[in-house]
Amino acid sequence: MIQEHKPVASLLRRSSSDKEDDLASLDPNPINSTATTTATRRHVATIPKPNSPNPAPIPDAAAQGSPVRAKTDKPRPKGSLVDLLVANRSYWTLAVVLFAAFVFIPHVHERLFSRELHASRPWPNNITSTHCKKAHPGRPLVQYVLMVDAGSMGSRIHVYKFNYCNATPELEGDTFGHVEPGLSSYDGDSEGAARSLDKLLDLALKTVPTYLHSSTPVAVKATAGLRLLGEEKSEMILAAVRRRLESTYPFPIVKDQGVAVMDGADEGVYAWVTVNYLLERFNSFKKKPTVAILDLGGASTQVVFEPRVVAGHSVAQGEHRYPMNFNGNEYVLYQHSHLGYGLIMARSQINNYVVANPLNAKHGVILGDKEYAHPCLPVGTRQDFVTVDNEQVVLVGVSDPTDQCKAMVEAIFYKHKKCDMSPCSFNGVYQPSLHATAEDDIYAFSFFFDLTAPFRLGSATLAQEMTIGEIEELTDRVCIGDEDGFLDFQDSAEAMKELRKSANICMDLRFIYGLLQHGYGIPKARKVKLAKKLKGYETGWTVGGSIAILEDNWFVGSSI
């Protein structure tokens, strides 16, 4: 459990020590904790007492050359109420401003008094926590957050239930829903995209107690898939989603970026927060080692870790550097989101490379016009494909997984591309050595888990581990398995189901191995922890994003 005195959301704020020299800061409104406030002197006119001897004369404004009109009416008695008001006008101005802010700016009122409202209103007996019976002072006993992950493959909702047994939120429940396809599939039909989320929001209506509907924040975060549609189309879809939420559902939308395309940096950092939060790496004043995370989606892949300091340095300046403070401890993270290297986009890159660098047919396969031999597909498999140049072609499997397929996959990482800032991982992107500077565990999830677990311990085992060498061995077995009917996997119904489901399984596993070993440079002997869930909760960015919402906006709504 995270210590009470420090908000979890501070994890997501950049460290002030890096503000001046990190011009590419990811936080658009950083809080500079080192800034100083310059005191200003107030010059208040001295008002003489009515009976004081030789009172100082009040200068004539006109005689002083002041633009103020000279007064010709009857002089006021010195020390009158009007004189007092004039002399103290700065204080009265401040009072008027504060009163206006209180009355006319609702969120100021909320921030000042919402905690008291939480504490003063009676809490319903039927809304309980399994962890405690009484809320921390000024907090609700239970708080829900609705987080919609609008990914490239589909949209998912997490209805998270938190308690406030302590000052900071503790996760105690998650109701999950999923729909396909993703928002990016509704190109040209923004209203249809918005309606596609109804099933998810209806689940939230049933899960969250009615009493808490108007105080349960909702956020819809689209990831890389929607980014690829372009700004205009994605904005139209997001605007339709917002209208649908506002007109149909009672949940308040998170104020800042509540319905938006999530920045790749935030996606990775939120995932890093999720995993380390669930592993309890933040629950102590003494800094604990943190784990690295690798996330593989459909359109992009993220890497986030805290490199070991070498010669006084850990991460060079730039957008990849993400400093943050928590519990008095400073974390300097490396993060990068590789757009185009998610599983689905990687398939497209490999297929385009096959077309651009044609191979000779083998295994008796005869190629026709606009047909190309594909070494990562089983012999005789035929797939229609539209190239990056919008050409319709056919990919024909010739199954050469250990040589030509491996070479085709490794080619898309462009390891020989110019590296402007050394060292680089792949495609010319700067990255400290993951193996040499990430001393603790490496956690990999999403497609990393989904495509390997069925052939290892099964998907029901939600946390497993493999060395990179074992992933290579598994890849080889799958890729040559079509030659004997996959005899190695006949004893596993789940593995056989996975093999029959997609002809791309060899290419996908070859890409995963290539990304880990060739791309990120992780040695074959090093273990990677493959996790779908930790302590019953999904890995990924959604828990971290929800914690940030609670810490910044837990008072959203007015029903409590």
Mean pLDDT of all residues in the chain? Answer: 81
The DSSP annotation for 408-468 comes to: HHHHTT-TTS--SSSSB-STT-B---HHHH--S-EEEEEHHHHHHGGGTT-TTS-EEEEEH
In the annotated binding site for ATP, the residues are 298-302
Whether 323 and 331 have beta carbons less than 8 Å apart is answered as yes
Structure tokens at 431: 């990255």
The DSSP annotation for 459-522 comes to: TTS-EEEEEHHHHHHHHHHHHHGGGGTSGGGTT-HHHHHHHHH-TTHHHHHHHHHIIIIIIS--
Would residue 267 show up in a list of annotated catalytic residues for this protein? yes
Model confidence pLDDT, tens digit, residues 101-138: 555 544 444 433 344 444 445 788 999 999 999 999 98
pLDDT of residue 119: 43
Q: Scan for tokens 């072609």, then name that residue.
A: 393
In the annotated binding site, the residues are 298-302
pLDDT of residue 495: 94
Structure tokens at 189: 């039909």
Whether 402 and 481 have beta carbons less than 8 Å apart is answered as no
Whether 434 and 314 have beta carbons less than 8 Å apart is answered as no
Q: Residue 341 has what DSSP assignment? A: -
Report the distance separating Cα 116 and Cα 137, nearest Å. 9
Q: Which ranges of the chain have pLDDT less than 70?
A: 1-121, 310-313, 326-327, 552-560
pTM (two decimals): 0.74
Bridge partner residues of 171 (DSSP) = 162
Pairing of strands 527-531, 442-446: parallel
Bridge partner residues of 150 (DSSP) = 155, 222
pLDDT of residue 476: 93
pLDDT of residue 326: 67
pLDDT of residue 67: 37
Which of 172, 235, 246, 267 is catalytic? The answer is 267
